[in-house]
Amino acid sequence: MKCRVCGEPAVISLKAYSTALCAPHFISFLEKRTLNTINKYRLIENGEKPIVAVSGGKDSLSVWFMLNKLGYAADGVYINLGIENYSDISFAKIEKMADLLMKKVYSFDIKRLSDKGIDGLAKILKRVPCSACGMIKRYVMNRVCIEYGYTTLVTGHNIDDEASALFGNVLYWKEEYLGKKNVVLEARHGHLSKKVKPFFLCSERDIAAYAILNNIDYIREECPFSVGAKTLIYKDMLNRLEQLSPGTKIQFVKGYLKSFIKNRQEDIKNTENFCSKCGYPTYGSICNMCRVLERLNIGEGHICFDEYDPSVLDTTERLMT
């Protein structure tokens, strides 16, 4: 297997594109592809100030790394879910990347809410951990943008994430999610930041290869709560279809964007209100997060961030850590 560009030994074959590439040409292929996605879908435009939601996994660390390499100066935001043997290791990887990029990280510790990790908090809230985590993440990630003046929240979602989530929504025709699901969600009303997914056409496998070839040190374990999630089953099915017909996942997601979003977006009525406490969009009068704060009997002040800023450490300190 030889690199299609230079003829040197290839390190990766890309079946969906019927090609194979060596390490430098694969890296530049994925970066060009991502840059094209950013431009074509207007994910990050002139004058925008992006921030990357980082988990410590390959996708978010790679998109953070790549954006900065491509000239988009992007800081990071992290939510520490208080999961033993997972959250602290994740943050260590994030700090390491922050040092490399010389970029700030805002982190929110979920224990600020109830002294418990996501598992314990979910029990208090009588939700499953993934549901509580999703709700809190959406709120907190948005909040950091609004409070610190970031216009655009970047996530590392890849084609496997997008295709499997879409698959689940289509399987049950979840209209409320189907119409909303997009690769760029515009900012609204000054209360909701723009959200974008520059990797939405890149596969999990390609991103893992990119991370490894760039020596990005990421946490390999999946979140312990995601094990057995339906999403993983959907991913497995889509991978089987992809093997039979390379390119299926991309066609599925692109076809959806082209056909469904085009036809439906005007139909989706904006029935949102704004939370009477914090101003965040909600379907009721008070948003879910403010309800949680009420339930825990704590104020909005508990939603605050620690800042990790490698640029203020002097060189000696940076080399020592």
For residue 30, the minimal CB distance to a copy of itself (Å) is: 25
For residue 172, the minimal CB distance to a copy of itself (Å) is: 6
Q: Of 40 and 264, which CB lies nearer to a copy of itself in the complex structure?
A: 264
Q: Of 171 and 304, which CB lies nearer to a copy of itself in the complex structure?
A: 171
Q: Are 223 and 156 in contact (CB under 8 A)?
A: no
Report how far apart the first and last C-alpha atoms of the chain are (Å, whole number).
41
At 194, the amino acid letter reads: K
Q: Are 3 and 13 in contact (CB under 8 A)?
A: no
Q: Of 6 and 233, which CB lies nearer to a copy of itself in the complex structure?
A: 233
For residue 226, the minimal CB distance to a copy of itself (Å) is: 16
For residue 256, the minimal CB distance to a copy of itself (Å) is: 6
H or E stretch covering 315: helix 315-320
CA R_g for the chain:
20
Crossing angle, helix 118-125 and helix 288-296, to 10 degrees? 90
Tokens read off for 250: 């991309």
Residues that bind a copy of itself in the complex, under the rule CB under 8 A: 170-173, 175, 178, 230, 233, 237, 240-241, 244, 248, 251-252, 255-256, 258-260, 263-264, 267
Q: Of 135 and 257, which CB lies nearer to a copy of itself in the complex structure?
A: 257
For residue 101, the minimal CB distance to a copy of itself (Å) is: 38
Tokens read off for 83: 């999961």
Q: Of 50 and 179, which CB lies nearer to a copy of itself in the complex structure?
A: 179
Q: Are 139 and 280 in contact (CB under 8 A)?
A: yes
